[in-house]
Amino acid sequence: MNFEFTGRHIEVTPALRSHVEDHFEKISHLFDGKPAKAHIIIEVERGRHRSEIVINWRNEVLTANSSNSDMYLSLSQTIGKIETQARKLKDKVIDKSHKASKIAVESTPTDTAEKSVSPRKIIETDALASKPMTVEEAVLEMDYRNYQFLMFRNANGGDIALVFRRKDGHYGLTRS
């Protein structure tokens, strides 16, 4: 990792440099692959020690800052924030690459290996009341439960009917 230090109203001492480099050495595993460039800005203003870190890594920019009465504590807090961002970004990259490889494996079956299809499961849901209802009541029930369709016993004739949501926003009705 390449470090660039900037001090505003404070001299960047070798102790501050080693403090930052030691902390980044502990989290260097998060920045494998393409080398990262870190710009560390420290400043003192009215007794407050402020630190800001900007890291360019891959195509991302990670930034964090904190302010404290102690410069070492401020740097540690800022590096902790950078670590959180880097961990989140790395997990995102790993998840994305794993997802892509799984799809690629499934979409290209080999000639010798047969595709194994797992049996579909039937999942039971809540049973609706078996009392007869009108078409309007069925539509209200379907909207209340956020269903795409609802099968019910029609109160007018006692026959089985199906109400469904159409693509144009209206409702459809099928009777048996």
The band of 128, judged by pLDDT with boundaries at 50, 70 and 90, is low
Q: How much is the pTM? A: 0.54
Identify the band that residue 33 occupies on the pLDDT scale cut at 50, 70 and 90.
confident
Look at 138 and 100; give whichever has higher pLDDT: 138
Question: Is residue 112 pLDDT above 70, yes or no?
Answer: no
Q: Are 62 and 82 in contact (CB under 8 A)?
A: yes
Which pLDDT value is given to residue 113? 52
pLDDT tens digit sequence for 57-94: 888 899 999 999 999 999 999 999 999 998 998 888 77
Per residue, the 3-state secondary structure of 49-74, as one string, reads: EEEEEEEEECCEEEEEEEEECCHHHH
